[in-house]
Amino acid sequence: MIKLLWRFFLLVLLAAGFAWIADRPGTLTIRWLGREIEMTFIAGVVLAVLAVVAIWFLWSLFRRLWHSPQAVGRYWAFRKNRKGYDSLSRGIIAAGAGDAAAAAKHAAIAGNALSDEPLVNVLAAQAAQLKGDRAAVKRIFEAMTKSPDTEALGLRGLFSEARQSGDMAAARRHAERALALNPRLSWASGAVLQLQSAARDWNAAAATLAQQIKSGLVPAPEGNRKQAAMLAAQALALEDTNRTQALELALKAHKLDPALVPAAMVAARVLITQASTRKASKILKETWLLSPHPDIAELQAHLIPGDGPEARYDRLRDLLKEDKGGLEGAVALARAAIKSQRWAEAREALKPWLDGRPQARVCALMATIEEADGDKGRAREWLNRALHAPLDPVWVSDGVASPRWTPVSPVSGEIVPCEWKTPYDVPEQAEADRHTGIEPPPPAPAPAQPAAPPKTLEPPRMVVPQRPPDDPGLPEDFDSPASGRKALPAEG
């Protein structure tokens, strides 16, 4: 609209100019080469305008003729690029569909037409991967690392190839190079951290995790928990060789995550050897309030070496004054009461947890109490219930049970600290049937129904996994020098 108004304004201005000239007639005389040309002034203006237009037209025609070879070259180059981009598009679609032959064909055409296009190398690498030519894939990715525009992409491809071939040293090298190139690459940062934690290189892993937090790749609370887990693992590894450094690391981990049991255990054990029992008790109580654990209760009971069962029972009872600790507190208090032969107190501590299907450790403690009271029949009954009771809690990481705490997942290799819980839950009726050998009755036959028309589609059926989600099995290679549980001093 604005352009139309502007053109209309120019036409009005031009018409007004011609009208002004027409109202003021005059004569224009030109003398040149002995000749004299006389005309009206308005005719001279029109001839001048026409002359300017003619000169501009002739100059444009000359320029087109002069640059015609370059124009022809640009036209053919445009056609070549158009054909190359068309092949590139078709090749990407073919690679996505899994057509290795078509992807390779279009990659070759695009490579001839678009020698400087980075996507050509990406398409060529995908085509080689579909064909299973790993040597070509590696060669293409190595060529991509030589260009600043595609260096990160080439490093990621080399990392994936090295990891698939089992060369973890090369995979770590490529990931570290990509991370140095761009600290905000989440895949590189995660891969480096995973490889470092799997190799138990805690110092390097801590630096990588700090960089993740700084770059915003990991939220601060999650990063603090992971950093605390690594510090606790370092403290556990150094506890027997360098107690001073182990205490320093454990205190840092406890400050970052007060609920982390291994950090509190290491710090308390070292402080006990240094006769700092009050500080050790404070750390244990702080962690107990957040995550009750039997090892914390046991260490609190043995806070002063050489004390008898009575003193240990009183110390544990003081721990439970502020927070009972649920089932863990009841079991710990019952064990301490049994060791001090306080049978009534032990029975009273376990009473709230006897309904339904108590855990195996509760049944075993009740069997000990009944046997001490002289009721061997009730003791055998509790032992029989212990055989069929739900499993006791253990350390579980990514569904795999472990006899000791570890900060690294045995499944993914990432920093996933263990959780203290039962390895898996089995429904009550199914558990009872499994132990008694009773097979469930077959379903009643359905009443006869009139024939239904055949169905073309059948709804999907739910497949029940053969193994529970938390497998109590432990892989052979799943081992860690870090242990959250230490032998406690013998009873006095």
- Ordered DSSP codes for 318-349: HHHHH---HHHHHHHHHHHHHHTT-HHHHHHH
Give the type of residue at 461: R
**Is the per-residue pLDDT at 439 higher than 70?**
no
SS3 content of the chain, % helix, strand, coil (to 5): 65, 5, 30
Q: The sheet that has 419-421: what strands, in order across it?
A: 400-402, 394-397, 419-421
Contact 364, 376 (CB under 8 A): no
**Is the per-residue pLDDT at 377 higher than 80?**
yes
What residue spans in the chain does CATH classification 1.25.40 cover? 143-218
The residue that leads in pLDDT, 437 or 257, is 257
d(C-alpha 211, C-alpha 151), whole Å: 21
pLDDT at 391: 83
Residues sharing a CB contact under 8 Å with residue 253, sequence separation 6 or more, in sequence order: 227, 228, 229, 231, 232, 235, 260, 263
Would the pTM of this model clear 0.75, i.e. be above it? no
pLDDT at 76: 65
Q: Confidence band (pLDDT; 50, 70, 90) for 266? A: very high
d(C-alpha 188, C-alpha 436), whole Å: 52
d(C-alpha 480, C-alpha 313), whole Å: 33
Give the type of residue at 444: A
Contact 454, 302 (CB under 8 A): no
The predicted model gives 217-228 an average pLDDT of 84
**Is the per-residue pLDDT at 445 higher than 80?**
no
pLDDT at 110: 74
Q: Confidence band (pLDDT; 50, 70, 90) for 270? A: very high
d(C-alpha 183, C-alpha 209), whole Å: 11
d(C-alpha 353, C-alpha 362), whole Å: 8
How would you class 59 by CB atoms within 10 Å of its CB: exposed for 0-12, middle for 13-18, buried for 19 or more?
exposed
Contact 364, 383 (CB under 8 A): yes
d(C-alpha 283, C-alpha 485), whole Å: 16
Q: Which residue has the tokens 């002739």?
A: 58
d(C-alpha 137, C-alpha 158), whole Å: 9
**Is the per-residue pLDDT at 232 higher than 70?**
yes
**CB-based contacts of 137-144 (< 8 A; 24+ apart in sequence):** 137/161, 144/118
**Is the per-residue pLDDT at 425 higher than 60?**
no
Tokens of 8: 């209309």
pLDDT at 464: 34
pLDDT at 71: 66
pLDDT at 467: 36
Q: Confidence band (pLDDT; 50, 70, 90) for 13? A: confident
pLDDT in tens, 41-85: 778 778 888 888 899 988 888 888 787 777 666 766 667 677 777
Contact 183, 211 (CB under 8 A): yes
Counted residue by residue, the chain has a size of 492
Name, of 316-320, 328-332, 459-463, the range with top average pLDDT: 328-332
* SS3 call for 401: strand
- Mean pLDDT over each residue of the chain, to the nearest integer: 77
Q: Which residue, among 233, 245, 313, 322, has the nearest Cα to 284 in the 3D structure?
A: 322
pLDDT in tens, 401-419: 888 888 887 777 777 777 8
Q: What is 143-218's CATH topology?
A: 1.25.40
**Is the per-residue pLDDT at 444 higher than 70?**
no
d(C-alpha 409, C-alpha 397), whole Å: 6
Contact 405, 237 (CB under 8 A): no
Q: Confidence band (pLDDT; 50, 70, 90) for 424? A: low
